Amino acid sequence: MRKKASKISRKKTFLLTQMLIIGIISGAFLLTGKDAGTEKDFFPVSVWYAGGKARAPMLEKFVPEKRDVWRKDLLQIKKLGFNTVRCWVEWTSNEEQEGNYDFRTLEAVADLAGEVGLKLIVQVYIDSAPEWVGRKFSDAKFVASNGLPVDSQSSPGFCFDHPGVREKILQFFSAAAKVVADKPAFYGWDLWSEPHIINWAEIYYLGNAEYLQFCYCPNTMARFRDWLREKYGSLDRLNEIWYRTFQEWEEVEPPRFGTILTYTDYIDWKEFISDKLAEDLRMKANAVRKVVPNGVVTSHSALPGLFSRPNWNGTPDDRKMAASVDFYGVSIYPKHAWTIEPWSVFFRSSGHDFARSMNWKNGGFYIGELQAGYGVFGMKLSLPVVGLDLRDWMWTAVGYGARAVNIYAYYPMSSGYESGGYGLIELDGKVTDRAIEAGKVARTITNNMDYFLNSTPPEPEIAILYNPLSHMVGGQQQFTGEGQPIGYNNLSESLQGTHRAFFEKNIRVDFLHIADLASDRAKGYKLLIAPYPVMMTKNNIQDLIGYVEEGGKLVAEARAGWNDERGFSSDIIPGGGLHEIFGCRETHVWPLQKPSELIVKISHKTMPFLHAGEKLDTLFFEEGFQLIDERSQVLAQFKNGDPAIVYSTYGKGEAVIVGSFIGSAYHHFQNPNNAKFFTGLAQWLGVSNPVDVVSSEDDVLVEARILEGDSYTILFGFNRGKKGTKAKFALSLPGQDWVARNMEKDAVIPLAFKDNKVLMEKELEPQEVWVVLIEQE
């Protein structure tokens, strides 16, 4: 149940703010983790700063003379408008000698944060290791798939699966927790920045880094065997599934290359890696919770999992990781050095929706790192980051349901291949325009924290199914439909294109992880869309069949259920029994050397925006169908006349299958008819939209997001175009007892009322953000 943002609590917040301003209770504002409880009752808006100018994960050693310098920095952070500082600890620096912990820098920053009225989040780094670890545990090196060990150069450290290394790492977490347990400023943790098996190291000297996998040390292989025992129960069963003839469990190793035989071993290995990462995170969380039970515990990925693949080295599954912590987060770098152009609004929107969706049980997500300054990688430089960027990026995160924004970093990187980049201010301390603008946003969030904490995005009625198993077709022998190697990401492009079609019409959608397909959450959607559904477990297929049978609506792209979880092809495609709900079966597949098209045959209720003769783009290949049920109906055909889109009923529900990848095609080519197919589904099912927006300029996209609280709504209006426009917003709020104010300027906004809608309008300049509170009088 959402908390009510009562007038009493708002008044209390206001009074506390005023008292802070005049300096009466600057210390009382800060609750220790022990006192704060686990209510997630604070909205951190922070900058990364650990004392001085050392770049993360490096640390400056504390000496008393630095206290005044660091206090000055923290006072400036507070003055800008931030309510939290995010510092870090790092194994190499903080335990140079075994058991001799030096957390003086952490203690100093924690104490100073408390003095100036900032809360503290602690980032923990163990991706580098002190030299004594290698001397003590000479058998703890990471081992590549080619059998060669990795000699650590501080980074990447040593394998967490080694019992001795694991014990020392968890002791390090516990020791850090003891330091902050009674610090008034302490609020919470980020226990793992951008989790992978190996971080911060490109191991080129061992061979082609693109194809090296980790870790093949004896300890990880032993842990993998335990995982296999749990999954299969016996060695005989494993031999049957893997098509092997092992005599002893000790013979079992993860695969190092692909063969023409089964690749179930490779699927198991990658599933194990994602399970292991989540379990490793859970162990770290337990280590600090034993000392500080109530500090908020988080971690964050390098980028939303929507854009990654399991076969990339040690890639986490965001849904699994979210289950190990209070909030799982993400790094957002729209102008990273590796970008030729900044991330598009479509890319950012799908990434934020994905992060939100994977954290649905947590009630929000964290922005673990938000880019503060221009990107640098050697001689590669990004476009400048300006104040408008930070305003856009911060409010976008909040509008999508983030529960923290952590800006990386306060000072630019002082050393390394990112030297000079990613800073909010200049290295000499000069405050920038972007720092001022980011601070204004932070102050608005802090002054209205009760509203933001007690409101959430509306529950979407449509979900896009995220099934990471679909990445695995072919195992290690992975190529796309166009013959491209494993670096390409067909599933991600299909998901992005489908999401974009809805985004452009301000229709809210979730991403539903396939692990949640059997949950009550899945049953609550009016529509499930399954892009690129080429590989699914038998159980997941039965869940989909049950969803339709009970009245759900399902739309799937080509070759649904082609392969099962072992990599075995179904006898009939759509596979696993899906042919029964779609009322058709595959007759043939034509590979496409270039995009082609399908042609709408008839008007139909499922496609209200499309008419006979209109064309949609197709991509990768075209799958022809044969109808097998009188309930089935051909809605569209390919150029050769073969059925391309088939509609059918099944049980209480309805299903549509498309014999190509029209979501990916829309991602690449933006044929409006592809988008009309998807948005027409929302029209067909009467999907409600709590806010509509109209732009006066046809070529200017205005995005409207809302957060809903008890008797109030927060509207976020974003001009996503390159020129100004007048935006007209209509919110579905019954009655006429509503008032509105600009949350940043605290100015009253005039409203109009019509047909149980609240109407307002605003001239929006390019990249402008408008944040409005609408509440009942």
How many CB atoms are located within 10 Å of the residue 429 CB? 12
pLDDT of residue 478: 58
Least confident of 132-141, 484-493, 694-703: 484-493
Q: How far apart are CA 371 and CA 381, in angstroms?
A: 14
Q: How far apart are CA 290 and CA 286, in angstroms?
A: 6
Position 696 pLDDT exceeds 80: yes
State the amino acid at position 307 in one-letter form: F
pLDDT of residue 11: 33
Q: What is the mean pLDDT of residues 642-670?
A: 97
pLDDT tens-digit map of 430-485: 999 999 999 999 999 999 999 999 999 999 999 999 999 999 988 776 555 444 44
Position 357 pLDDT exceeds 60: yes
Q: What is the mean pLDDT of residues 247-264?
A: 92
pLDDT tens-digit map of 154-192: 899 999 999 999 999 999 999 999 999 999 999 999 999
Mean pLDDT, rounded, of the chain: 92
pLDDT of residue 488: 53
Confidence class for position 312, pLDDT limits 50, 70, 90: confident
Q: How far apart are CA 522 and CA 514, in angstroms?
A: 9
Position 12 pLDDT exceeds 90: no
Position 27 pLDDT exceeds 70: no
Position 26 pLDDT exceeds 50: no
Q: What is the mean pLDDT of residues 233-255?
A: 97
Q: What is the mean pLDDT of residues 654-683?
A: 97
pLDDT tens-digit map of 583-599: 999 999 999 988 999 99
Higher pLDDT among residues 40 and 449, named by residue:
449
| Exposure letters 157-177 (e unless 16+ CB within 10 A, then b) | bbbbbbeebbebbbebbebbb
Position 364 pLDDT exceeds 90: yes
Kindly tell me the sign of the dihedral angle through the C-alpha atoms of 32, 35, 39, 41: negative
pLDDT of residue 479: 53
pLDDT of residue 606: 98
pLDDT of residue 207: 76
Q: What is the mean pLDDT of residues 282-311?
A: 95
Residue 38 DSSP symbol? T
* Distance in angstroms between the alpha carbons of the first and the last residue of the chain: 23
Confidence class for position 14, pLDDT limits 50, 70, 90: very low
What's the pTM value of the predicted model, to 2 decimals?
Answer: 0.93
- % of residues, the chain, pLDDT over 90: 86
Q: What is the mean pLDDT of residues 230-250?
A: 97
Packing angle, helices 218-232 and 264-289, rounded to 10: 100
Position 371 pLDDT exceeds 90: yes
Q: What is the mean pLDDT of residues 558-583?
A: 97
Q: What is the distance of C-alpha 111 from the center of its chain?
A: 33
